[in-house]
Amino acid sequence: MTINLKKIYQRRKMMNERQVKWAILFTPFEQEDTEYVKEGCGAMWDDKSPVKVFDTYEDAQKECAKWNTGEIVRWIGEQYE
């Protein structure tokens, strides 16, 4: 039985790309550390606010354009790459 490694590699790559999520990190004016853009209105965020996660890089780019210090990062569960 012959295994086509190229097809296997392409399939794995496609599956990984589908699972990648994106988030935005930015530096608030009053802080030196970075913080994630969160769901809802920025003035109402707290430690328990969920991080705003995007399914596509293009959607993340649109949100990132709203932030002066925004940076797009890969989101994997509760961490980024």
Q: For the chain, what are the domain ranges? A: 21-80
Residue-wise pLDDT for 57-70, tens only, equals 999 999 999 998 99
Give 26's contacts (C-beta < 8 A, 6+ positions apart). 34, 35, 37, 67, 68, 69, 70, 71
pLDDT of res. 41:
79
Kindly report the pTM of this predicted structure: 0.67
User: Which DSSP letter does residue 9 get?
Assistant: H
Give 53's contacts (C-beta < 8 A, 6+ positions apart). 21, 22, 23, 75
Distance in angstroms (rounded) separating the CA atoms of residues 53 and 22: 6
Residue-wise pLDDT for 6-50, tens only, equals 666 666 665 555 578 999 999 987 777 888 999 987 778 888 889
